[in-house]
Amino acid sequence: MRYAIPIVLLLGLLALLGIGLKLDPREVPSPLIGKAAPAFDLPLLATDSERLTPASLSGRPVLVNFFASWCAGCRVEHPLLMRLAEQGVEIIGMDYKDAPDDAQQWLRRHGNPYRQVALDREGQAGLDWGVYGVPETYVLGADGKVLFKQIGPMTEQAWFEDIQPLM
């Protein structure tokens, strides 16, 4: 009987590990889904005199994309973002923990798919949105509520299956 306890514990641990290996780390549920976008008031990359707030994003569906010039995954998704912008999809950039000069240089080099780019220099807005790594993209409905969160680079599959139907 005393040998059964360690065996049962080991089997339980193996079952938990097996379940964990089957989970997709990109499918982390966001507590923001169905709620209003977090409050923020950020300067724009183009000019510090203008600000971006949730109020400036309401009235239409929009993608909010957290990116940075130092982000390798951002480079992967960028051609898709450029194509979407050319098709008329409104994308707002949130430059996350980045130097403004680096962001401007990166956008000049790779193209700018964003209608506006806000500077989240300290990463506070990213924390409020639940960002734990860039790139991350959020779909906001016309009512300003978060409808979907894409963790990691956006793919064509994610666009067609998950995001486009919400837009």
pLDDT tens, N- to C-terminus, the chain (167 residues): 677 776 767 666 666 666 656 655 555 567 788 899 999 999 999 887 889 999 999 899 999 999 999 999 999 999 999 999 999 999 999 999 999 999 999 999 999 999 999 999 999 999 999 998 899 999 999 999 999 999 999 999 999 999 999 98
CA torsion sign for 83, 84, 90, 95 is negative
The Cβ of residue 113 has, within 10 Å, a number of other Cβ atoms equal to 24
Phi, psi values for residue 98, rounded to 5°: -140, 155
Q: Which two tokens mark 162? A: 């998950």
Give the three-class secondary structure for 131.
Answer: coil
Query: Is this prediction's pTM over 0.95?
Result: no
